[in-house]
Copies of this chain bind each other. A is one copy, B any other.
């Protein structure tokens, strides 16, 4: 998806040549992993297969990743960065529409999942065995969560979301969008014929907001 060719040709970015050395093996391995996961599932992701796809030998990845888990962790971490980016993109940054911003985060979350299913699976699946050994993973996830918490707090301060423990409300909101995203990614919603993810996302976040809304002042 991102850069792929454009370096074996003869260009020579600061860290990369052509020929014996690959140029940017870590990037190529991550891309290969994503491709394999997308096309054949996580089970098909093999260090050797990724190396083959990148055009290097079986042991080359070990120059850049301690083990298979480290490669998966890199995928997951990139995913979290893309997630927060997607959320920020989908949310209007105007200060005077906290509810719209909040909703944008939800839509961005679902859009990310639908657009990057391979990332999403690695991020939230159990593929990365020992999460604690890969710092920056929990941190990257925490950043996205913090985004949500801040948005909800802003809504509360504007009187648009009912009072209560902000983190608990955030868990509620996160659960809702995460659940929809997970169901979409796992193909669990392809029951009869409702593949319109965007419409579902709007409906689901809509219900969510009704649930979190502050009680209308009488007569409003």
Q: Chain A interface (Cβ within 8 Å of chain B)?
A: 41-43, 121, 124-127, 129, 131, 141-142, 145, 167-169, 171-172, 174-183, 186-189, 191, 194, 200, 203-204, 206-213
Contact = CB atoms under 8 A, between A and B. Distances in A.
Given A126-B42, A168-B203, A213-B210, A183 B191 contact: no
Contacts of A43: 126-127, 129
A125 B124 CA distance: 9
Contacts of A207: 169, 172, 208, 211-212
Contact of A125 (B126, B174, B176, B204): B126
A129 to B, nearest CB: 5
Main secondary structure of the interface of A (DSSP, over half): helix
A49 to B, nearest CB: 15
Nearest to A185: B126
19 contacts: A41-B129, A125-B125, A168-B194, A168-B200, A169-B203, A171-B183, A171-B204, A172-B203, A172-B208, A175-B177, A175-B180, A175-B204, A176-B176, A176-B179, A176-B208, A178-B179, A178-B183, A179-B180, A206-B211
A156 B78 CA distance: 43
A180 B171 contact: yes
Contacts of A141: 188
